[in-house]
Structure 1
Amino acid sequence: MNEHVSLSVPADEPPARQNERTNSRKVFIKTYGCQMNVYDSGRMTDALAGDGYVATEEMGEADLILLNTCHIREKASDKVYSALGRLRDMKKARAAEGKELMIGVTGCVAQAEGEEILRRAPAVDVVIGPQTYHRLPEALKRARAGNRVVDTEYAVEDKFEHLPVTEKAKIRARGVTAFLTVQEGCDKFCTFCVVPYTRGSEVSRPVQQILDEARRLVDAGVREITLLGQNVNAWRSEGEKGEWSLGDLLYRLAEIPGLARLRYTTSHPRDMDDKLIEAHRDLRALMPYLHLPVQSGSDRILKAMNRRHTAAEYLRLVERIRTVRPDIAMSGDFIVGFPGETDQDFEDTLRIVEDVHYAQAFSFKYSTRPGTPGADLSDQVPEDVKAERLERLQALLLKQQADFAKSCVGKVIDLLLEKPGRMPGQVIGRSPWLQSVNVDAKTSQIGDIVKVRIIGTGPNSLFAEPAESLIGP
């Protein structure tokens, strides 16, 4: 999703603090992939702050460059090695000037490749897996002493307990929306997916740890929190009266004063329990948008993928959710060309898309991921067939997305104002359905929730006009 994450210095920061930052070492983090990596990049910046590092948006001025990598898509590691080749040249140029540049690889490619990265990329100083990035400062100290470091063991300790509390000024600089990781890893072992091998088995953060972080975010001005997990609705933890599920957690989070909106992603259909569905019915703060991947509409392919649900079961689940929350917008993931997929299997996928009518969706050609069961299947679909099927699927999904956007025209909605727009007085906000909305809101401030009327659609956003006065600070 995001290509890189970095933090800006708050404009109201005291001059002494700004001077301290100017004299500090600087870190640039390039983030590949999912929202979980975006969250991790922010926490790595927090972990490095104690060693005097501050974030920069300019790679050329960084003393430390980290590539926070994703391993989901094909050729992910090739992109990393290509980037490392360019960084090698930058490191040589710095060395010729008598200056230090340290390079690190973190995230899922780091977990999958480990020592191979050090072998193929001599310029790399540290390789840190997603479960051990709280050890990054210590790894850098060891590397600076001349010992290149690979740390990809699954940490026994709770890494979140070892990470420093994010400063209020840093939270405020990141905006009025925030990610909060509550669960990591996956036990589903879909045959196309590397997550169980790079992120490990399902681990849930404790209730109190999550609540404490959420309160700190809200205290710093965050209005909307998105709970993250590779399989977020598998989250379980001990509450006051026994085991809590994600639904229980959402009910409790909704009680935090000042927290206006809640979201969560990514979900598995098998973990959508009654409590979570009831939360969609009962909680005004829980936004009417659900990312619920199905991957295929063919029962035969779903079985080969080890999804452990049928197309009919998925459709019944969507119907249950829409019954309790009729305005909910559905989002999904689709893979075309999984080994053995026939024309009829693909037609079944088109049919489930037509039945659900998605507001948004992500679709990809199947790519073999080394180490997954799918990579060993012999009945691979030719690339030209995969490309043709993907084109047809995406045309249908894009039409549905456009239809949903058009259906919003004329509606009066609550809009969370997130950042200034390009034009004077223009503000960009986020709709309840996760759409970007442009509006002239000269009398409102970032973080306000205002009533607007949708008046038009663009390729990737909506346009609105103020409908009423401010409804909530």
Structure 2
Amino acid sequence: MTQSEPKAYYLKTFGCQMNVYDSERMAEALARQGYRETTELDRADLVILNTCHIREKAAEKVYSDLGRIRDVKIARAKDGRETVVAVAGCVAQAEGEEITTRQPAVDLVIGPQSYHRLPELIARTTTARTHIVETEFPGEEKFARMKAPRRVSSPSAFLTVQEGCDKFCTFCVVPYTRGAEFSRPVAKIDAEARELVEAGAREIVLLGQNVNAYHGEDLRGRSASLADLIARLARIAGLERIRYMTSHPRDMSDDLIAAHADIPQLMPFLHLPVQSGSDRILAKMNRKHTAAEYIDLVARIRKARPDIALSSDFIVGFPGETDQDAEDTIDLIEAVGFAQAFSFKYSPRPGTPAAGHDGQVDDAVKSERLLRLQAVLEAQQLAFNAQSLGGVLPVLFERKGREPGEFVGRTPYLQLIRVAADGELVGTTADVVVNDARRVSLSGVIAEA
């Protein structure tokens, strides 16, 4: 690298959409400092791993990557090239100093609420010649100071509106890694949304650890609900679609349910995690709802928007789960019917109450239960997609496909769909006739005018 070349950064993102959003904001801040992005680790002057702590495998993958990064850092040092290694995100927040003890090649540990200080902290690592751990919780300051112009790499853009969670589910690390619930003011979100649309976004996905608990200040100094926020954003010219995730059943308010019926830009798709169908396990999880309450809530949502597609999360093998509890979860899945879902074996997270619960389930039992549950969910996903065969759906095209002339987009129900067409479709919305439906995706052709 010559003196005139800008420094390069390598940024790897683990986990949820909120981490993707945070990585985008970090990249924008680094660009403003003159950094350029690289996908080649050995060319990076700065390496950032933006981490996830939800499951044990995700955290261990970080340490595996750090071992490889250490070797690259050593090799670059032999050539006289300095490398700053940073661990960001929820593993950083949860494990702090332990990261630098376990992997001394790490120079900076930075929690999710301190990204606005990233350029300053990077500069300090190069002058102080010591490890820096920054894991405070100034959420409002973070958003106030992350003012770099928004960049849009896809017609669908993420926008964080709420962080943290006050629910304290016994399996979850979020209250400890992201802190208490914090909602951004309506005016700040509206301004960022308009900036995204001006940059080319046609769909905005509103993000939060518990997004439907949103209660940001409106322009009159009052508390606005998520439904109020969506109604305001729907007025932005050029914004065709609005989505939000992730939600908690206890915060699915009447006005938000009504918004699905009343606001055309709000897409008919809802990710509403239930986690289990057993009331006994739900109580042990501290989910604050029963299976019957969840099923009733789904009925009310479908009454407002009959065509809505539902998605959920399921944890299999929670401590104390019996065969009957697992059957209760299957019963709930069959009663509700999901368009898609995410399901995982329970993974103890250090510091959470459930990690110390009696009755930890054998891994072989977890695997067996997970296979059965996923078979039911996959059959439901295939059946939901099959309903689209022969129909016409509006598709927002997000990117080019792998094959020449292929474009990939999403239906209003978040189904992935592939279309072969002439010209350029990315960033446009077109009606598509669905001619093939598989479990994970659809195929189709552009409808004739």
Q: Which TM class, normalised by the smaller chain length?
A: over 0.9
- 1:66 is matched with which residue? 48
**CA distance in structure 2 between the partners assigned to 1:87 and 1:421 by the alignment:** 31
Q: Which of 195, 203, 218 is residue 239 of structure 1 equivalent to?
A: 218
- Residue identity opposite 2:334 in structure 1: E
Aligned CA distance change for structure 1 residues 226 and 22 (closer, same or farther; 3 Å)? farther
Alignment partners' CA distance in 2, 1:267 and 1:78: 27
**2:271 alignment partner, one of 291, 295, 299:** 291
Unaligned runs of 5+ in 1: 1-19
User: Whole-Å Cα distance in 2 between the matches of residues 290 and 166 of structure 1?
Assistant: 30
| Counterpart for residue 220 of structure 1 | 199
Counterpart residue number, 2:176: 197
Q: What are the Cα deviations for residues 291-325 of structure 1, in whole angstroms up to 9, with x where unaligned? A: 00000001111111000101111011100111111
TM-score (norm 2): 0.97
CA spacing shift, 1:224–1:428, aligned 2, 3 Å:
same
Structure 2 equivalent of residue 324 of structure 1: 304
1:49 CA drift (Å): 2.1
1:159-174 matches, within 5 Å, as: 159-167=142-150, 170-171=151-152, 174=153
1:10 maps to none
1:182 aligns with 2:161: yes
Q: Compute the RMSD of aligned alpha carbons.
A: 1.5
Determine if the alignment matches structure 1 residue 136 to structure 2 residue 115.
no
Aligned to 1:387: 367
Q: By how many angstroms is 1:279 displaced?
A: 0.6
**Partner of residue 106 from structure 1, selected from 88, 99, 106:** 88
Alignment-derived partner of residue 419 in structure 1: 399
Of stretches 37-46 and 47-56 in structure 1, the one that deviates more from structure 2 is 47-56
Change (3 A) 1:156 1:392: closer
- In the alignment, which residue of structure 2 is the partner of 1:310? 290
1:51 to 33, 46, 70: 33
Counterpart AA for 2:323: D
1:363 aligns with 2:346: no
> In structure 2, what is the Cα distance between the partners aligned to 1:104 and 1:407?
47
Segments of 5+ residues of structure 2 without an aligned counterpart are none
Structure 1 contact 450–468 (Cα < 8 Å) conserved = no
- The correspondence of residues 259-274 of structure 1 with structure 2, limited to 5 A, is 259-274=239-254
CA distance in 1, matches of 2:250, 2:284: 16
**SS of match in other structure, 2:112:** coil
Alignment of 1:398-413 (within 5 A): 398-413=378-393
- Say whether the 8 Å CA contact 2:416–2:441 is kept in structure 1: yes
Mapped contact 1:238–1:244 kept (Cα < 8 A): yes
User: Does 2:65 align with 1:86?
Assistant: no
Give deviations 1:179-211, integer Å, cap 9, x for gaps: 000000000000011110111010001111100
Alignment of 1:207 with 2:190, yes or no, is: no
CA contact (8 A) 2:382 2:438 kept: no
Partner Cα separation in structure 2 for residue 157 and residue 452 of structure 1: 43
Q: For residues 439-468 of structure 1, what are the alpha-carbon distances to aligned partners after superposition, in whole Å with 9 as ceiling and x for unaligned? A: 123245311110111100235211011113
Cα distance between partner residues in 2 of 1:425 and 1:387: 41
Deviations 1:422-452 (A, max 9, x none): 2332211111111111112324531111011
Output the CA distance in 2 between the equivalents of 1:451 and 1:152: 47
Measure, in 2, the Cα distance between the counterparts of 1:51 and 1:21. Answer: 16
Report the Cα offset of residue 166 of structure 1. 2.0
Give a deviation string over 1:12-47, Cα, whole Å, max 9, x none: xxxxxxxx9992111111100000000000101112
Give the share of equivalent positions with the same residue, in percent. 59
- Please report how far the alpha carbon of residue 153 of structure 1 lies from its aligned counterpart in structure 2 after TM superposition: 1.4
SS of 1:315's partner is helix
**What's the secondary structure of 1:239's corresponding residue?**
coil
